[in-house]
């Protein structure tokens, strides 16, 4: 029996998918979580075989959940998303996600991917993979991406500086370079562009 944790902040989608997966003879949905932080906590307690994670969740997104779990338990993570941006695929694979597919797939297809990943294989939706091969690379350095990531929820320059152990002036310099490279006028626009393209 494949033990599955399902995390999605949209209650109707979460409960419907859980109900459909429970019809499968070899899949047992052992937990349903409404956000990323709850998913990490419950997964560490239950240690399911598979964590099926929505990408867009409050608190922690699906990739951030996978990163945390891959450091602490031996579950395998599959990320599902409504907006399958190629850049996000690269970030997901770099964090150890074993499966990546759009929410448009049927419950039967999701169950098939769960079985493949539980058996040790990786699965990436072919259309997303093809798009990722042609997608542009980030023009930002790792440190510039760190600054955007640390400020993605509206943190102040001082808060970003503290979290990255940098001087506030250094953070301001990085932000200035980022705005210039991306041809945007605010840090929030830079964050949105970086998220949209899957750089952070």
Contacts of 155 (CB under 8 A, 6+ apart): 163
Q: The pTM is what? A: 0.71
CATH number at residue 160: 1.10.10.10
| Shared-domain flag, residues 163 and 123 | no
**Final residue belonging to a domain, choices 108, 134, 160:** 134
Distances (CA, A) of 130 to 80, 100, 169, 182: 17, 13, 41, 25
Which tokens go with 115?
């079985």
CATH number at residue 23: 3.40.50.2300
**Final residue belonging to a domain, choices 134, 151, 185:** 134
CB 78 within 8 A of CB 112: no
Average pLDDT over residues 79-105: 84
List pLDDT tens digits, range 18-77: 999 999 999 999 999 999 999 999 999 999 999 999 999 988 999 999 999 999 999 999
| Shared-domain flag, residues 128 and 185 | no
| Shared-domain flag, residues 93 and 160 | no
- b/e per residue 16-46 (b: at least 16 CB within 10 A): ebbebbeebeebebbbbbbbbbbbbebbeee
Q: How much is the pLDDT for 95?
A: 87
Give CA–CA dist 90/71, Å, rounded.
Answer: 18
| Shared-domain flag, residues 71 and 87 | yes
| Shared-domain flag, residues 125 and 163 | no
- Domain housing 153: 142-196
| Shared-domain flag, residues 119 and 176 | no
Give CA–CA dist 117/123, Å, rounded.
Answer: 7
Q: How much is the pLDDT for 148?
A: 93
CB 18 within 8 A of CB 48: no
Average pLDDT over residues 89-103: 88
- Would you say residue 159 has pLDDT above 70? yes
Strand order across the 99-102 sheet: 27-33, 2-7, 50-54, 76-81, 99-102, 123-124
List pLDDT tens digits, range 139-154: 899 899 999 999 988 8
Average pLDDT over residues 112-129: 92
Average pLDDT over residues 88-108: 88
| Shared-domain flag, residues 122 and 169 | no
| Shared-domain flag, residues 164 and 146 | yes
CB atoms within 10 A of CB 184: 16
Mean predicted lDDT score pLDDT of the chain = 91
- Would you say residue 172 has pLDDT above 90? yes
Number of folded domains that form the chain = 2
- Would you say residue 134 has pLDDT above 80? no
**Final residue belonging to a domain, choices 134, 153, 168:** 134
Average pLDDT over residues 93-110: 91
| Shared-domain flag, residues 122 and 50 | yes
Q: How much is the pLDDT for 86?
A: 66
């Amino acid at each position: 029996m494949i033990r599955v944790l399902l995390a999605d902040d949209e209650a109707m989608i979460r409960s419907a998918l859980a109900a459909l997966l429970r019809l499968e003879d070899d899949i047992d949905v052992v937990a349903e979580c409404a956000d990323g932080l709850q998913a990490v906590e419950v997964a560490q307690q239950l240690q399911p075989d598979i964590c099926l994670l929505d990408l867009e969740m409050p608190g922690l997104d699906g990739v951030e959940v996978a990163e945390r779990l891959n450091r602490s338990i031996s579950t395998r993570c599959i990320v599902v998303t409504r907006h399958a941006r190629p850049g996000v695929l690269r970030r997901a694979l770099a964090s150890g996600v074993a499966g990546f597919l759009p929410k448009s797939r049927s419950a039967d297809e999701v169950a098939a991917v769960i079985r493949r990943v539980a058996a040790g294989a990786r699965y990436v939706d072919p259309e997303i993979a093809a798009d990722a091969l042609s997608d542009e690379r980030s023009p930002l350095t790792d440190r510039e991406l760190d600054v955007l990531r640390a400020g993605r929820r509206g943190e102040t320059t001082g808060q970003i500086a503290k979290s990255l152990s940098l001087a506030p002036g250094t953070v301001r310099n990085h932000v200035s370079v980022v705005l210039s490279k991306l041809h945007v006028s605010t840090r929030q626009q830079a964050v949105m562009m970086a998220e949209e393209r899957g750089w952070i």
